Structure 1
Amino acid sequence: MGRAGTDGRVERGNATRRLVLGRTMEIASVEGLEGLSLGRIATELGLSKSGVFALFGSKEELQLSTVRAAGAVFAAEVVAPLTDVAPGARRVLALTRSWLAYSRGRTFPGGCFFAAVTAEFDARSGPVHDAIAKAHLDWTAYVEQTVREATAVGELGADTDAAQLAFELIALMEMANLQSVMHGDASAYDRAGTGILSRLRWAAAGPGVLDG
């Protein structure tokens, strides 16, 4: 009975944690991480403040946990769908389309979670800044690696600068997110998609690599 009771409390704690983080990700994508507080979350979700405090301990830990949770959602929404896509130019294209669908589909109500919180914390210092910066670097490195793999299999030109191409692709994606969120302009995703396809065709090792 003791073990069953403990397991039940752990599962209830985990369920509450998921509930809280689902809400904090929504808030942060619109209002930023500074919009979070233990008291606010407890009130909005009908939880005790002491219970929320027991799970997170501080506002900073709540912010860090929210960043980590958003990273897991990002990986599931943007990266996981590419599991069965072979390395190459089509995988690079599929990755950008997956990101654009994640932003366009409002996985988070404020568009890309990391675009929102990066603008909030880019000039600050501390653990939250560092967690966001790491997420940004990890994403950039992943796009660069995907480009390098496409070069290695001969679908992008041998002289392709992976860092430069990744920078340009990410810039197009982030501009689409900004234009859509700030101005309600959904056509920005189509323009970004057109620009990305054009850039990849220019970088391709030969004609027809991305046709069909």
Structure 2
Amino acid sequence: MHGRRGPSGTPVTKVDGRVERGNRTRRTVLRRAVDIASVEGLEALSVGRLAGELELSKSGVFALFGSKQELQLATVREASRIFVTEVLEPASGAADGLVRLRDLCEGWLRYSERRVFPGGCFFYGVMAEFDAREGAVHDALAEAQRAWLAELERCAERARAAGELGADTDPAQLAFELVALMETANAMSVLHGETAPYARARRGIAARLRG
């Protein structure tokens, strides 16, 4: 950072051009990293591969992350940021409860169907890669999954309290079933290259929420 003073004598902060270039490079690398990981997994990431594909300096990319694990963690954080933008934020204006729950499910299906990540849902693939492991990457993925389930449960609880769902509804069970429908649609669509599974998931979700 370089300090100078404006006309009034107040300090003015100017961002070092090298910092901004580093930030742009980091964003470029992470966008490519999330796309690769969604198809091939987090273990497919390497500084050398990313530098080569993006025609960047290997030492420069390494300086941004420092280790393969930090690259993986940064990739998970970037995927989480994209997920929030694509799924959570569009539903933020919906009335809490059943309307928001429906909007979240539809947003998730659109996110997978539109291939925001080329491999479908980023988290579906990489969680299978790390679910039986221990360590920081496993923990980051587990936390992302818990946060998503918790948001669905919270909406289901509000819907039950408002009388939009039956009084005997188990919010945690409902959230589990909704996620199962969405993730199955994602897996089958990616595997078979067809959109029919999303229609089935939408029918299943609508029936479950009516119930």
Q: In structure 1, what is the equivalent of residue 133 of structure 2?
A: 124
SS in structure 1 of the partner of residue 16 of structure 2 = helix
Matches within 5 A, 1:12-161: 12-161=21-170
Offset at 1:131?
0.7
3-state DSSP of counterpart to 1:156: coil
State the partner residue of 1:178.
187
Aligned Cα RMSD in Å?
1.4
Q: Aligned pairs, how many?
A: 202
For 2:97, the aligned partner's letter is: G
Q: Distance in 2 between matches of 1:130 and 1:9?
A: 33
Gaps of 5+ in 1: 203-212
Output the amino acid matched with 2:31. G
Cα distance in 2, alignment partners of residues 5 and 138 from structure 1: 37
CA distance in 2 between counterparts of 1:143 and 1:83 reads 13
TM-score by length of 1: 0.92
Aligned residue type for 2:50: I
* Percent identity (aligned): 61
Provide Cα deviations, 1:140-165, integer angstroms capped at 9, x if missing partner: 11111111111122211122100000
AA aligned to 1:130 is D
Structure 1 counterpart of 2:205: 196
Q: Which runs of 5+ in 2 are unaligned?
A: 4-12
Equivalent residue of 1:110, what SS? coil
Question: C-alpha deviations, 1:5-53, integer Å up to 9, x for none?
Answer: 8521111111000000000000000000000000110111011011001
Structure with bigger RCO (C-alpha 8 Å, 6+ apart): 1
Whole-angstrom CA distance in 1 between matches of 2:161 and 2:16: 49
Do the aligned partners of 1:25 and 1:70 also contact (CA within 8 Å) in 2? yes
Deviates more, 1:43-52 or 1:84-93: 84-93
Q: Distance in 2 between matches of 1:163 and 1:52?
A: 42
> Within 1, Cα distance between the matches of 2:98 and 2:15?
50
Letter of the structure 2 residue corresponding to residue 46 of structure 1 = E
Shift of 1:185: 2.4
Alignment check: 8 A CA contact 1:114 1:132 kept: yes
Which stretch of the first structure deviates more once superposed, 76-85 or 144-153? 144-153
CA distance in structure 2 between the partners assigned to 1:35 and 1:144 by the alignment: 33
> What SS is found at the alignment partner of 1:118?
helix
How far apart, CA to CA, are the structure 2 residues paired with 1:6 and 1:150? 47
Task: Quote how far apart the aligned CAs of 1:88 are.
Answer: 2.4
Tell me the amino acid that sits aligned with residue 69 of structure 1: E
Contact preservation (8 Å) 1:87, 1:153: no
Q: Give the Cα–Cα distance (whole angstroms) in 2 for the partners of residues 143 and 2 of structure 1.
A: 46
